Chain A
């Protein structure tokens, strides 16, 4: 019996198809109120007074401001963000007050009868101005995080290299645009606080609720309802909306539902961090890469949220998938007066990989080399050391990725042909080579100690209890496959318990490409332990399998709870940022072929070849789905998506004007799975791939545009008018 490696029907599929799956907005509680957030109309200022219109009838409307908040911080990395601003306002849309009412229409009317007296302060939107401290918008120095990685002596090496190339690259905000907007229902009862909602990480929400309401673990139950996507956007933000709903629930003594509409969701919640990256590299004339120096400046937005961690992952990926003897990488993240930037698939890596890949295309141009040959010649292999001096010991499938993508896309012929101009259109092909650390950085897993429990149930069934959420990516199905195979049971005998902090152990957050690889391996270990118990029971009693399982349940021996067995040979030093940054890496080679209209400079992606080393594809269809979905998100970032800002406000906060690709914009995908198994991965070697596919799309598209037109884009997005402007300037020069 083998479920692993087979694309079994997804376990959550039928209920979603027939509409019985309950998303948070499908739920209702007796006596429930609707809640709304009143937000700052300015980007920076001092809140002087909140004015409730005395002419309005406030009967039946619950009103909450900062004076109602027991401990006014959103507990995350640093407790700098208030649940409701009481004095200083740091960004447009910052929550200032909350209202609730049983009638949603009256609620909307009431919202218009609250005004804020605010003394405006000068705001900063340019991270460079923040870095130079032209205003202090986040005391003491506007800095949210700093990292430095060194290997060898990059400065000295660069001085003696035959070919030195430098460049500056930048990337912009991106909205996650999950299908289901943020939403929760929250209430208090005799057992404590309850939150049900669209949540990636129930234990993060629990942590925030404990802190703000001064409660203990057993007082707070956070339940994940069926969730329509997250992409990181539901990692930290659900804590904020949950705290808001609970504040209203506490004051009104009623359950409160808060659901953002699309505009509020786009305006108020987190985005991908913009960044500016300067790179200087040195290499030999034959293209052997020697030294790299990297400087990253990242825009954190108004509060710390997860910025230091995003910056960390960004700098750890900044040298790309290559062998360098000498590395100097410095990164700093600063505050600006926009809504806080936060987690988004890739988590800092797409930003720095954009830069290093564009840079290596530039190096190849200067050397007159095929860029894929340059990249392939220098790519990391087993035995090489990374920028953090980590020696790669296993599961490096990048060579096979490059070969597969190269052959399938007919790279050699198409690249050698040069740009193909037919009539008024030009075709070109470009490539990106990349890696993405799977699981938490450094000692993260060791500190976290993720746990999973498996229960035998009467009737020969097994139940998985984990805090790893299925937000559409298939956790439920894949965990069931892993557990079923480890136990020797059919999938139909395995259940997945709805995550609830009262009923599932803390497996850690559903982030960092760690769900399948890390938590899946805990599921597998717990399942193996149960299997051993069942085998022993059968051997001792001669019972058949099902009776043996029931016997264990009766003797209260039916539950196996496992803690992650952190690989002991990993060494990481947080102080020097040196060592085994990640237990293992996912690897990828993306090749894009585009056609640029030479009249309008519209870019059409004709084909996309994505080769990814996933270790082992537990569910090949889901795995390819992740790769194609992530790549399309990257194509959107490269060609369509752009937040339009004005004084810290978002001018295009709707799906009609925040442009994401449609199915017609999606290219034909050729997705090539490479399996270089990871010795500690579940199901025979699976690695995390949730974020990997976000990394390669944008650089591959830009490289293809360059091949087709000679226009080299160092910043995103590649809109038609930007391409034309570059072409015009190129002709003028």
Chain B
């Protein structure tokens, strides 16, 4: 680990006044990456004690402040009742120890698990712009089907972000100049030619809250995660779905996938295919096929296309009560 300075701040204005430095809360990603020397911040600004931990999850509105712990959000009965996809995505993330430390804002800011990004001995455009990408030609079982390019094919790691995309969530971003709300789907950037820039946060800007609107769709939502073991593992493929049914017909639907995109991946074509259709297995299978539009499999992750398709079917079938 490289040497660094550490400052703790006790108020939001003090945090926003910090002119340079890397924000530090639960530390579950940052410390790990600092030990690997993948990240070498010169200054940490500890915001862990700021009073931003409120969780509000009424049937109408979800608002989670950024420093709420993953474990606390997952344990909230209101979240589980009104926004089950959020609680499920959190409970299927990491391990109990990490969920006790990690914050919601930090979860959304976590870095990719790409082994080339995480190994300083390997080239990686995200870590060292211009150094190349080891995954494109190398081991890429865990890499992205969607949103990648020659510069980077690393997947976004957060389960929560996938669930929140399925809820059309927005983030409140706060800086010394004030606050703005940004749809989560627009918060993350595609790697393009500069994969080191992952989101629209301005320097010194902080995520302060996550917001979403409730309703029947949010209440009938589900997160399905496929991974290499039952706990403490990232998604090979995951699907978040929110389904509004009326008289056996799909009134509205949101579908998002994890483990397959360079950012949480909204399956828009599958959604449109399903809207207005009967909630039957055949309709779900038809929509699931559309979820593969735009997929660009690599040498080692071709299995994910069919796995995604089957996981979309599985998720919709469970939500729609058909088998």
Contact = CB atoms under 8 A, between A and B. Distances in A.
Interface of A: 423-424, 597, 599-600, 602, 604, 640, 644, 646, 651-652, 656-657, 659-665, 719-721, 724-725, 728
A660 B229 CA distance: 8
Contact residues on B (Cβ < 8 Å of other chain), bracket: 20 to 34
Contacts of B313: 599
A659 B233 contact: yes
Given A424-B314, A659-B229, 14 more contacts: A424-B317, A424-B323, A600-B310, A600-B311, A640-B229, A644-B141, A646-B138, A656-B113, A662-B95, A662-B231, A662-B232, A664-B231, A719-B228, A720-B226
A626 B88 CA distance: 35
A662 B229 contact: yes
B306 interface: yes
A423 B311 CA distance: 14
28 contacts: A424-B317, A597-B314, A599-B313, A600-B226, A600-B237, A600-B311, A600-B314, A604-B230, A640-B228, A640-B229, A644-B139, A651-B138, A651-B139, A652-B115, A657-B113, A657-B115, A659-B229, A662-B229, A662-B230, A664-B231, A665-B229, A719-B228, A720-B226, A720-B236, A720-B303, A720-B307, A724-B306, A724-B307
A657 B227 CA distance: 12
A532 to B, nearest CB: 55
Contacts of A640: 228-229
Given A720-B226, A724-B303, A724-B306, A599 B311 contact: yes
Interface in B281-316: 303, 306-307, 310-311, 313-314
B303 A665 contact: no
A720 B235 CA distance: 13
Contact of B303 (A597, A644, A725): A725
Given A662-B229, A662-B231, A664-B231, A721 B311 contact: no
B307 A600 contact: yes
Contacts of A657: 113, 115
A612 to B, nearest CB: 26
Contact of B115 (A599, A651, A662, A721): A651
B218 to A, nearest CB: 24
What are the nearest 10 A-B pairs in CB distance?
A: A721-B303, A664-B230, A599-B314, A599-B310, A423-B323, A664-B231, A662-B231, A659-B228, A600-B226, A665-B230
A646 B139 contact: yes
A106 to B, nearest CB: 12
Nearest to A598: B310
A719 B226 CA distance: 12
A424 B95 CA distance: 28
A665 B233 CA distance: 12
A301 B307 CA distance: 35
Interface of B: 95, 113, 115, 138-139, 141, 226, 228-233, 236-237, 303, 306-307, 310-311, 313-314, 317, 323
Contacts of A721: 303, 307
Nearest to A640: B229
Interface on chain A toward B: helix, strand, loop, or mixed SS? loop
Contacts of B323: 423-424
B118 to A, nearest CB: 8
Contacts of B306: 724, 728
Contacts of B311: 599-600
Contacts of B138: 646, 651
Nearest to A656: B113
A664 B233 CA distance: 12
A719 B230 CA distance: 13
Contacts of B141: 644
A720 B138 CA distance: 21
Interface centre among B115, B228, B233, B311 (most CB of A within 10 A): B228
Contacts of A719: 228
A600 B315 CA distance: 11
B89 to A, nearest CB: 17
A226 to B, nearest CB: 24
Nearest to A41: B121
Contacts of B233: 659
A600 B138 CA distance: 25
A493 B228 CA distance: 48
A43 to B, nearest CB: 15
A363 to B, nearest CB: 31
Nearest to A423: B323
Contacts of A661: 229-230
Contacts of A424: 314, 317, 323
A644 B228 CA distance: 14
A661 B63 CA distance: 36
Nearest to A717: B228
Contacts of A600: 226, 237, 307, 310-311, 314
Q: Report which residue of B229, B231, B233 has the largest number of chain A beta carbons within 10 angstroms of its beta carbon.
A: B229
Contacts of B139: 644, 646, 651
Contacts of B232: 662
Nearest to B317: A424
A423 B323 CA distance: 6
A659 B233 CA distance: 8
B222 to A, nearest CB: 14
Nearest to A728: B306
A724 B313 CA distance: 16
B123 to A, nearest CB: 13
A471 B141 CA distance: 36
Nearest to B224: A600
A665 B307 contact: no
Contacts of A423: 323
Nearest to B142: A657
Nearest to A597: B314
B39 to A, nearest CB: 16
Nearest to B232: A662
| Residue with the greatest number of chain A CB neighbours at <10 A, chosen from B115, B231, B311 | B115
A539 to B, nearest CB: 61
A665 B231 contact: yes
A694 B113 CA distance: 31
Contacts of B310: 599-600
A653 to B, nearest CB: 9
